[in-house]
Amino acid sequence: MSPGHTPVPHEGCVAAREVLDRVGDKWSVFIVALLGDGSRRFSEIKRSIDGISQRMLTLTLRGLERDGLVTRTVHATIPPRVDYALTPLGATLLVSVRALVEWSFEHREEIQRARDRFDRRRA
Protein backbone atom coordinates (compact mmCIF):
# COMPACT_ATOMS: atom_id res chain seq x y z
CA MET A 1 0.00 0.00 0.00
CA SER A 2 1.36 3.43 -0.91
CA PRO A 3 1.92 6.12 1.74
CA GLY A 4 -1.17 8.18 2.32
CA HIS A 5 -3.38 5.51 0.72
CA THR A 6 -6.54 4.89 2.69
CA PRO A 7 -8.17 1.53 2.05
CA VAL A 8 -11.78 1.74 0.93
CA PRO A 9 -14.11 -0.49 2.94
CA HIS A 10 -15.82 -3.23 0.96
CA GLU A 11 -19.19 -1.47 1.27
CA GLY A 12 -17.66 1.67 -0.25
CA CYS A 13 -16.31 -0.28 -3.23
CA VAL A 14 -19.68 -1.89 -3.85
CA ALA A 15 -21.50 1.46 -3.64
CA ALA A 16 -19.00 3.17 -5.94
CA ARG A 17 -19.18 0.31 -8.45
CA GLU A 18 -22.98 0.52 -8.54
CA VAL A 19 -22.89 4.25 -9.26
CA LEU A 20 -20.10 3.91 -11.83
CA ASP A 21 -21.99 1.09 -13.56
CA ARG A 22 -24.85 3.53 -14.15
CA VAL A 23 -23.00 6.70 -15.07
CA GLY A 24 -20.19 4.91 -16.87
CA ASP A 25 -22.16 3.06 -19.50
CA LYS A 26 -22.01 4.55 -22.96
CA TRP A 27 -25.71 5.31 -23.33
CA SER A 28 -26.05 7.08 -19.96
CA VAL A 29 -23.14 9.36 -20.80
CA PHE A 30 -24.73 10.38 -24.10
CA ILE A 31 -28.17 10.87 -22.54
CA VAL A 32 -26.86 13.01 -19.67
CA ALA A 33 -24.82 15.12 -22.12
CA LEU A 34 -27.86 15.56 -24.38
CA LEU A 35 -30.20 16.48 -21.52
CA GLY A 36 -27.64 19.04 -20.37
CA ASP A 37 -29.02 21.26 -23.12
CA GLY A 38 -32.58 20.98 -21.75
CA SER A 39 -35.48 18.58 -21.53
CA ARG A 40 -36.21 16.30 -24.48
CA ARG A 41 -38.95 14.02 -25.65
CA PHE A 42 -38.19 10.31 -25.94
CA SER A 43 -38.25 10.45 -29.75
CA GLU A 44 -35.86 13.42 -29.78
CA ILE A 45 -33.40 11.53 -27.61
CA LYS A 46 -33.65 8.44 -29.81
CA ARG A 47 -33.03 10.44 -33.00
CA SER A 48 -30.07 12.23 -31.41
CA ILE A 49 -28.19 9.11 -30.27
CA ASP A 50 -27.06 7.05 -33.22
CA GLY A 51 -27.22 3.31 -32.66
CA ILE A 52 -29.39 3.15 -29.54
CA SER A 53 -32.40 0.86 -29.74
CA GLN A 54 -35.78 1.85 -28.37
CA ARG A 55 -35.51 -0.87 -25.72
CA MET A 56 -32.02 0.21 -24.61
CA LEU A 57 -33.11 3.86 -24.46
CA THR A 58 -36.11 2.89 -22.34
CA LEU A 59 -33.98 0.80 -19.97
CA THR A 60 -31.29 3.46 -19.67
CA LEU A 61 -33.78 6.27 -19.01
CA ARG A 62 -35.53 4.12 -16.42
CA GLY A 63 -32.21 3.45 -14.67
CA LEU A 64 -31.25 7.12 -14.72
CA GLU A 65 -34.68 7.99 -13.30
CA ARG A 66 -34.35 5.33 -10.60
CA ASP A 67 -30.97 6.75 -9.59
CA GLY A 68 -32.43 10.25 -9.30
CA LEU A 69 -30.50 11.68 -12.25
CA VAL A 70 -33.42 12.17 -14.67
CA THR A 71 -37.07 13.10 -14.25
CA ARG A 72 -39.85 11.80 -16.46
CA THR A 73 -42.85 14.08 -16.95
CA VAL A 74 -46.00 12.79 -18.64
CA HIS A 75 -48.24 15.45 -20.21
CA ALA A 76 -51.95 14.66 -20.56
CA THR A 77 -52.19 15.28 -24.28
CA ILE A 78 -53.33 13.13 -27.17
CA PRO A 79 -51.08 11.43 -27.95
CA PRO A 80 -49.38 11.52 -24.52
CA ARG A 81 -46.19 13.52 -24.41
CA VAL A 82 -43.32 12.39 -22.18
CA ASP A 83 -40.38 14.68 -21.43
CA TYR A 84 -37.10 13.78 -19.78
CA ALA A 85 -34.85 16.26 -17.98
CA LEU A 86 -31.88 16.21 -15.67
CA THR A 87 -32.58 16.55 -11.96
CA PRO A 88 -30.38 18.86 -9.87
CA LEU A 89 -28.34 15.76 -9.00
CA GLY A 90 -28.06 14.85 -12.69
CA ALA A 91 -26.89 18.39 -13.45
CA THR A 92 -23.97 17.94 -11.03
CA LEU A 93 -22.87 14.97 -13.14
CA LEU A 94 -23.02 17.03 -16.32
CA VAL A 95 -19.66 18.76 -15.78
CA SER A 96 -17.84 15.42 -15.54
CA VAL A 97 -19.76 13.88 -18.43
CA ARG A 98 -19.06 16.82 -20.71
CA ALA A 99 -15.37 16.67 -19.79
CA LEU A 100 -15.30 12.95 -20.61
CA VAL A 101 -17.09 13.44 -23.94
CA GLU A 102 -14.76 16.32 -24.84
CA TRP A 103 -11.70 14.24 -23.90
CA SER A 104 -12.91 11.35 -26.03
CA PHE A 105 -13.37 13.58 -29.08
CA GLU A 106 -9.97 15.20 -28.59
CA HIS A 107 -8.17 11.86 -28.32
CA ARG A 108 -10.18 9.59 -30.63
CA GLU A 109 -7.57 9.60 -33.41
CA GLU A 110 -4.72 8.89 -30.99
CA ILE A 111 -6.69 6.04 -29.46
CA GLN A 112 -7.48 4.62 -32.90
CA ARG A 113 -3.76 4.70 -33.82
CA ALA A 114 -2.93 2.88 -30.58
CA ARG A 115 -5.57 0.24 -31.36
CA ASP A 116 -4.19 -0.21 -34.87
CA ARG A 117 -0.62 -0.66 -33.51
CA PHE A 118 -1.84 -3.15 -30.93
CA ASP A 119 -3.84 -5.13 -33.50
CA ARG A 120 -0.88 -5.25 -35.90
CA ARG A 121 1.37 -6.64 -33.15
CA ARG A 122 -1.16 -9.33 -32.31
CA ALA A 123 -1.79 -10.34 -35.93
Judge whether 5 lies within some domain. Answer: no
Residues 57-87 have pLDDT tens digits of 999 999 999 999 999 999 999 988 899 999 9
| Distance between CA atoms of residues 78 and 68, nearest Å | 28
Q: Which of 2-11, 14-23, 76-85, 103-112 has the lowest mean pLDDT?
A: 2-11
Judge whether 1 lies within some domain. Answer: no
Average pLDDT of the residues of the chain: 88
pLDDT of residue 88: 97
Across residues 15-23, what is the average pLDDT? Answer: 74
Domain of residue 22: give its range.
10-122
The whole-model pTM stands at: 0.77
Judge whether 45 lies within some domain. Answer: yes
Dihedral sign of CA atoms 63, 64, 68, 71 in order? negative
**CATH, residue 77:** 1.10.10.10
Q: How many domains does the chain have?
A: 1
